[in-house]
Structure 1
Amino acid sequence: MAAPLSPEAAFASAPSDRLRDAVLLEARSWLGTPYRHQASCKGAGCDCLGLLRGIWRALYGTEPEPVPTYQPDWTASGAESLAEAGRRWLVERPLGTETTGDVVLFRWRDDVPARHVGILSAPGQLIHAYERVGVVESPLVPAWRRRMSHIFSFPEQAPWQP
């Protein structure tokens, strides 16, 4: 597991404006995609992780690892699977340093693992796939802000590329 970045290192590792623009352009192209558990197909269906996977594919061409089957209540195991995967493939940043284009993880309660993911699209805005709604851009209201547990940025290039 990677050590958390210092605030100085987090700002130094922040992605370029070009990458952030590419993330936002791709995320917005998914708006209106219906919600489908475990899916990741723009326009046809996705869940919150599927949205993130689709953005990754658009940026880097292929997904870094297979996604295991998961149930809607997949956090019952207590493992921080989503955060651990983020640490493997994204650049972790301290809470409070988030900006547009960043990946945000949310936990519903303090005692459960993070299980929802979205993309910060503008100050106070979030793009995410919401059950029974689909992919939407919505306000990052205080109730959502309180649930933020992890912040990640996309890497400048896929981790396996030289």
Structure 2
Amino acid sequence: MPSPALIVCAARAWIGTPYRHQASLKGIGCDCLGLLRGVWREVMGEEPELPPPYAPDWAEAGGERLLAAARRHLVEASDLSVTAGDVLLFRWRENLPAKHCAVATSADTMVHAHDGAAVAEVAFRPWWRRHLAHVFRFPA
């Protein structure tokens, strides 16, 4: 497993990258999944699979695809406690699929790509904690 410090450093290197749907190019553009894919490439190597094209409303139309992919390639934590280097999956409503991901940089901060903004490190505030659905770790 890559060290949490390596994962955090890789995620922070994307800060300032503009939001671009389906992209995954540091400094050029990415969405939340593209950010995670880029961090994977840096700390793990080649991506295990490439996502198919997806529309902005992919989660509402396609079910738990993000969660299923995370379970194929990451190690699910037994609870929702967050530590540096963890991959966080969020759902906006309890009955909706997980639709957003981020990389924890500490128990209280995370890096994520948000529509309409550049990649940023933000506080992991109560609003985010309420929407946290799953916590994953990079595999060994």
**TM superposition score category, shorter chain reference:** over 0.9
Matching of residues 84-103 of structure 1 within 5 Å: 84-103=68-87
Identity among equivalent pairs (%)? 49
**CA deviation after TM superposition for structure 1 residue 97, in Å:** 2.9
Q: Which has the larger radius of gyration?
A: 1
Out of 13, 20, 31, which is 1:29 matched to?
13
The one of 41, 64, 82 equivalent to 1:57 is: 41
Q: Please identify, of 78-87 and 23-32, the stretch whose mean Cα deviation from structure 2 is larger.
A: 78-87
Q: Is the alpha carbon distance of 1:45 and 1:75 closer, same or farther for their aligned partners in structure 2, counting shifts above 3 Å? A: same
**Alignment partners' CA distance in 1, 2:123 and 2:136:** 19
What residue number does 1:143 align with? Answer: 127
The residue that corresponds to 1:118 in the other structure is 102
Any runs of at least 4 consecutive aligned residues in structure 1 with deviations exceeding 2 A, and if so which? Answer: 94-98
Gaps of 5+ in 1: 1-14, 157-162
Root-mean-square deviation (Å): 1.2
1:47 to 31, 34, 40: 31
1:78, CA displacement in angstroms?
A: 5.0
The 1-side partners of 2:107 and 2:81 are apart by: 12
TM-aligned CA distance change 1:48 to 1:127, over 3 Å: same
Scaled by the length of structure 1, what TM-score is found?
A: 0.83
Equivalenced residue count is 140
Query: Is this contact kept in 2: 1:78–1:112, CA < 8 A?
Result: no
Partner of 1:5: none
C-alpha displacement at 1:76, in angstroms? 2.1
State the alpha-carbon separation in 1 of the partners of residues 128 and 30 from structure 2: 20
Q: When the two structures are superposed, what TM-score results if normalisation uses the length of structure 2? A: 0.95
Contact 2:80 2:134 in 1 (8 A): no
SS at match of 1:130: coil
Q: Does 1:73 align with 2:57?
A: yes
